[in-house]
Amino acid sequence: MTTSSTDKNRTASDKDFVSRLADAGEEALQRLSELPGGQKAVTAMNDLRSRVDEIAKKVRGIDALDARVAKLEREVAALKKPKAPPGRQPPRKPAA
């Protein structure tokens, strides 16, 4: 029974830590934006974040494309397999 109370305390302290960290981050961004040229740095970081998000979305799409390519490669390989030789052909007559 003590583990559940320990887990609750740990969860509460984790939330407190995360909220303190978020507050510190907000405060750091506020201070950075107040510095000369700081607003440009904040804007550049936000642009970088949005670009990274876009790239992450594109990279997630690569897995689906890779699966489609693998499927198509298997289909092409199946089409390239030599067909079974046809039945025995009658002998050809010599050209006269």
**Region 38-56: what's the mean pLDDT?**
89
39 near 33, Cβ under 8 Å?
A: yes
**Region 46-68: what's the mean pLDDT?**
92
Q: What percent of the chain clears pLDDT 70, i.e. is strictly above it?
A: 77
For tokens 């050209």, name the residue.
95
Handedness of CA 40, 46, 49, 51 (dihedral sign): negative
User: Could you tell me the residue ranges of all domains in the chain?
Assistant: 10-79
Q: pTM, whole model, 2 decimals?
A: 0.42
Q: What is the pLDDT of residue 30?
A: 80
pLDDT digits (tens, 9 = 90+) for 4-15: 556 666 677 777
Quick count: other Cβ atoms within 10 Å of Cβ 42? 15
Q: What is the pLDDT of residue 1?
A: 47
